[in-house]
Amino acid sequence: MTRRTVLQTAAIIAAGVVLALVANAFAPRERKLAMAGSYPSALKVPARETTPMGSIPPTRIAQMPIVPMTSTAPVTATTATQPTATAAITTVGLNPAAKTPAAPATTTAAPVPHPPLPTPPSADRFLPHPDKPFVEITFADVSSLHAKNVLFLDARRTSVYEQGHIAGARPYSVWESDIDDKVRKLFDERSDPSAQALPIVIYCSGGDCEDSHMLAQKLWGIQFNNIYVYKDGFPDWQQHGAPVHTGANP
């Protein structure tokens, strides 16, 4: 390879970097990327389930008894190695002091009007679980939490969210550049420890999708300790004929 070829190769790569930075700077919010991503388990291959739900015929799923709540440890590698709370706080860019309930992350921020909080569910179910970032639940539990007006977060891409989402769910895609702002906003809304112990349901598209698990880890790292992942996700919700909204609003 001649020196000229090396220089030209370097020039192509350098031009690629410049164009990428310029394009990203002018990209709309949902297409923009933060320069340095922080994705837990980026190098860990998830363990495969021995009987994946996708291989079970839908008729059999319908006949399966619904267990009230999956309390076993989640099977994905995302949860196999739980990050420390400090690490997760770093992930979302919040001050570690935020882990102390009395010291919210953004003390200088203007007070945010708090939306009405949902009715707390019954005491014996959906209790906070500070030892693990999330608990996976099935449709029956998801449906009961939805009926109680619990906060639902949609971890899929905003463009997919707009095509249809669980009624009332907010868009929280972990792949979009504004995710840290949204997480901070949620922290501001629920800075009180009692509010952080209220259930939050996160879902994505089911199957191999790990976006909801990633979002759960982000929230767990900043005090939220009652997070549920709807493992079968939006396709399962649709399959049950549960309420769906389309468009950009919850």
Q: Which residues bind other proteins (CB under 8 A)?
A: 1-2, 4-5, 8-9, 11-13, 15-17, 19-21, 23-24, 27, 30-40, 42-46, 48, 52, 54-55, 157, 173, 175-177, 205, 207-209, 211
Q: What angle do CA 47, 139, 229 make, to 5 degrees?
A: 45
- CB closer to other proteins out of 91 and 138: 91
- CB closer to other proteins out of 16 and 247: 16
Contact criterion met (CB below 8 Å) for 139 and 236: yes
Angle of the 179-189 helix axis to the 85-92 helix axis, nearest 10: 120
- CB closer to other proteins out of 91 and 225: 91
CB of 82 to other proteins, least distance (A): 16
Task: Output the CA–CA distances (angstroms, integers) from residue 199 to 152, 213, 222, in the order listed.
Answer: 9, 15, 14
- CB closer to other proteins out of 34 and 103: 34
CB of 185 to other proteins, least distance (A): 19
- CB closer to other proteins out of 15 and 66: 15
CB of 12 to other proteins, least distance (A): 5
